[in-house]
């Protein structure tokens, strides 16, 4: 798991994801997690690499790592440099997600997690989105 912190992620340094438990009135906001660990904003992805992983007290003891928190709160994706039209043009072919599922699928032992898209559109070529 620790090797994953040094491995680069795609799409490089343009994607920033932060876990922020202090967003007022957000569903995942909290002063501390279920184990009593004080909450604080934690960068997850940034600078082209995985920055942090979720480590609860149990796995922290097993792995010899300091605990961070037992799970995610409010995941915030950083803003990019362009508007939607320029982003779609730069992507070429991809998926524009307009709505995410409420609960992530997580595998703490492997540090892998995924969110399901509940609404999305295909992006092709220079068009804004495919019909």
Mean of all residue pLDDT scores within the chain: 78
Nearest to 107 by CA among 46, 63, 59, 40: 59
Domain positions in the chain are: 1-80, 81-131
pLDDT above 50 for 23: yes
Q: Is 112 exposed, middle or buried (0-12, 13-18, 19+ CB in 10 A)?
A: exposed
pLDDT above 50 for 112: yes
Separation between Cα atoms, residue 102 and residue 79, nearest integer Å: 21
| Predicted local distance difference test score (pLDDT) of residue 22 | 94
């Amino acid at each position: 798991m620790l090797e994953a912190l040094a491995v680069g992620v795609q799409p490089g340094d343009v994607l920033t994801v932060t876990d922020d438990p202090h967003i007022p009135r957000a569903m995942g906001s909290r002063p501390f997690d279920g184990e009593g660990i004080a909450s604080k904003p934690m960068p997850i992805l940034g600078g082209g690499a995985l920055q942090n992983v979720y480590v609860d007290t149990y796995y922290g003891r097993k792995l010899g790592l300091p605990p961070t928190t037992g799970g995610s709160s409010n995941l915030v994706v950083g803003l990019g440099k362009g508007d939607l039209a320029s982003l779609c043009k730069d992507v070429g072919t991809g998926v524009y997600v307009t709505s995410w599922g409420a609960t992530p699928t997580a595998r703490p032992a492997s540090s892998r997690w995924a969110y399901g898209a509940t609404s999305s559109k295909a992006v092709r070529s220079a068009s804004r989105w495919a019909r």
